[in-house]
Chains A and B, each alone.
Chain A
Amino acid sequence: MTSASASKKSTKNEISPIITINKLNKWYGKFHVLKDIDLEVNKTEKIVICGPSGSGKSTLIRCINRLEVHQEGSIIVDGTELTDDVKQINEIRSDVGMVFQHFNLFPHLTVLENCTLAPIWVRKKSKLEADEMAMELLTKVKIPDQAKKYPGQLSGGQQQRVAIARALCMQPRVMLFDEPTSALDPEMIKEVLETMIELAESGMTMLVVTHEMGFANKVADRVIFMDEGQIVEQNDPKNFFNNPKSDRTKLFLSQILNH
């Protein structure tokens, strides 16, 4: 079997894929959003996905934790293939953290409860253990003093940092970011990006959909450009920004960098 030989190869190499996407296709009704996507993400790799709106970049990362259901192709996360099996889906989801554009914190729970709910009920941790880890991670994102507050009392940037801490509390193996700074006021973007940079430096595997090209340049191992449901071009940031190959990429870069 090919997958067996592939896994043997990967144990020889130090870098092994944690996410393998093969010929992924997805439709919304008749609209073909993702077309034949192939993607391998290695452990500790940081990938930035960019592209115009409607290009399918958010849909792609939402397929990885099954917030969107794909119709063709396969997605394998950490050795487990995504199927309709609810138990498998929940297992993968608990190993894959996600940060949303609109934070999606739970407004009826305190910041601390937001961070400990899933560790307690999904990971079956004791409350004490969950509290301890949550406080540690809230300290890491520099808001331990807000733990007893409700999300509605925090600024957008603080909320997004709580959302990052909440995802990290599950000790995920991969983190997905779906336009994490798009809903923020300009002065708050920096604090969230700094948190993400620190996370990247700690060795987390990250897939980030963003328009923050400065972040891509600084952190990404690979930048992927998508358009009309396809991966148009992918390269390391230096080559991606300095000599983009396709005209479509050049146009996109000129549009977002020269305004």
Chain B
Amino acid sequence: MNKNEVFIKLPDRPPPSSTVGIIAWTQKNLFSSTTNTLTTILFFYLIYLYIPPFFDWAIFNANFSGSDRSICDANKAGACWTFIKVRFDQLLFGLYFASNPDQIWRPVVALSVFVLILIPLVIEKTPHKKWLLIFLLTIYPIIFIILVYGGYFGIPISNTTQWGGFLLTFALAFVGIVLALPIGIILALGRRSEMPIIRALSVTYIEFWRGTPLITILFMASVMLPLFFPSGVEFDKVVRAMIGITLFQSAYTAEAVRGGLQAIDKGQSEASMALGMGYWQRNVFIILPQALKISIPSIVNTFIALFKDTSLVSIIGLLDLLNMSQTASRSLDWNGYDIEGYLFAGFIFWACCYGMSSYSQKLERKLDTEGRTE
């Protein structure tokens, strides 16, 4: 080494032991100050106060056995999951399938196929994901209709007026989400179009449907729409609800997508223009992939809201998962056990929404080639 060298590189040393490990973490995060310590103690006290009794009620003292309310009435200290067990088919698949147990395989297969497509779609390394998605969006709805509605291959028809429970929630949300995304994208592009008529049409559509409560739209679809058709023309109630939800949802999706479009630097479209790319090429290859990526959180947010809003179809007399739980717990057999019904419906809603939310976060991280999120 050169003796006259002024700069000497110091070797890396490990951080002091007081800053790493569990004890250091607890000290730093839970007991760093008096206020923090008091908050921690209070919080643990609240957990102690409420959590064990809840588990006692929901699990340790709960009733699972039997097939009627007598066992639950005898043991009021625990939850009555017997109710959910007995009415399970009704809560998940609606009245038709609950009263025709030999047909129950139809919704079971339909929902299983959905899950079987969804799992490889969510797993990152699956090859040919594009085709799976195309299958889900085109063939799957047909399979669903043939299985659940019936009418072909000797499968008896289950009238949509008897659809209900989770199956109805799923059908409404699936149609709403799958149709609202493309319509929303077109509307968002339309709102930013340079052609004044297209822009005006898009703005009018978005502002009209966004400014109207979903309840009103569903009510109108149910009560007003038939007035415009000649008497005798029967328009399916579920289809009407689907149309209403799609119209409403596409306006919200459009605004979420527009937020993403606005965040894209002008240089991106200029660069693609300078390469001679046309309007659709620019949007499909350059602008939308980036804009949709940015708007994933807000798009999924609207999807989650929609999923929960499907319960509003009770206004037109359709019984989705939530309303089915309510109805079941108000029946003579199970009157008084509505908490269990609500908890069950709430749990399923939560599981679906949490699934959507985690997947969107995963997708965001995966698509992040710019290192925006950590």
Contacts and interface: CB of A to CB of B under 8 A. Distances in A.
Interface of A: 65-67, 86, 90-98, 100, 102, 104-108, 117-118, 121-122, 150, 152, 163, 166-167, 170
Nearest to A119: B275
Interface in B263-301: 265, 267-268, 270-278, 281, 285-286, 289-290, 293
A33 to B, nearest CB: 17
Among A96, A104, A166, residue most surrounded by chain B Cβ atoms (within 10 Å): A104
A108 B369 contact: yes
A166 B275 CA distance: 9
Given A117-B285, A121-B281, A152-B369, A106 B274 contact: no
A93 B367 CA distance: 30
B78 to A, nearest CB: 54
Nearest to A114: B271
26 contacts: A65-B273, A67-B273, A86-B278, A94-B276, A96-B274, A98-B274, A100-B274, A104-B268, A104-B270, A104-B271, A106-B272, A106-B290, A107-B290, A108-B293, A108-B367, A108-B369, A117-B285, A118-B275, A118-B276, A118-B277, A122-B276, A150-B369, A152-B370, A152-B371, A163-B271, A167-B274
A122 B275 CA distance: 8
A93 B273 contact: yes
A149 B281 CA distance: 23
B369 A107 contact: yes
A90 to B, nearest CB: 5
Contacts of A94: 275-276
Contacts of A166: 275
7 closest Cβ contacts across the A-B interface? A94-B276, A104-B271, A104-B267, A118-B275, A98-B274, A93-B276, A150-B369
A210 B289 CA distance: 33
Contacts of B277: 90, 117-118, 121-122
Given A108-B290, A121-B281, A170 B370 contact: no
Contacts of B271: 98, 100, 104-106, 163
A100 B267 contact: yes
A97 B274 contact: yes
B129 to A, nearest CB: 17
B270 A67 contact: yes
Which bracket fits the contact residues of B? 20 to 34
Contact of A170 (B276, B281, B285): B276
A170 B275 contact: yes
Contacts of A118: 272, 275-277
A85 to B, nearest CB: 13
Interface string B41-65: 0000000000000000000000000
A67 B274 contact: yes
A102 B267 contact: yes
Given A93-B276, A98-B274, A150-B369, 4 more contacts: A90-B277, A93-B274, A108-B369, A167-B274
B116 to A, nearest CB: 30
B275 A100 contact: no
Contacts of A97: 274
B281 A100 contact: no
Contacts of B274: 65, 67, 93, 96-98, 100, 167
A180 to B, nearest CB: 13
Among B267, B274, B289, B371, residue most surrounded by chain A Cβ atoms (within 10 Å): B274
A194 B149 CA distance: 69
Contact of B281 (A122, A152, A163): A122
A91 B285 contact: no
B197 to A, nearest CB: 17
A152 B372 CA distance: 10
Interface in B349-374: 367, 369-371
Contacts of A92: 276
A168 to B, nearest CB: 11
A54 B289 CA distance: 34
A106 B276 contact: no
Contacts of A100: 267, 270-271, 274
Interface in B69-120: none
Contacts of B370: 107, 150, 152
B270 A108 contact: no
A94 B271 CA distance: 11
Contacts of B265: 102, 104
A121 B268 CA distance: 17
A121 B277 CA distance: 8
A105 B286 CA distance: 10
B369 A90 contact: no
A147 to B, nearest CB: 15
B265 to A, nearest CB: 8
A258 B298 CA distance: 53
Contacts of B289: 108
A102 B267 CA distance: 8
A121 B369 CA distance: 23
B272 to A, nearest CB: 8
B88 to A, nearest CB: 45
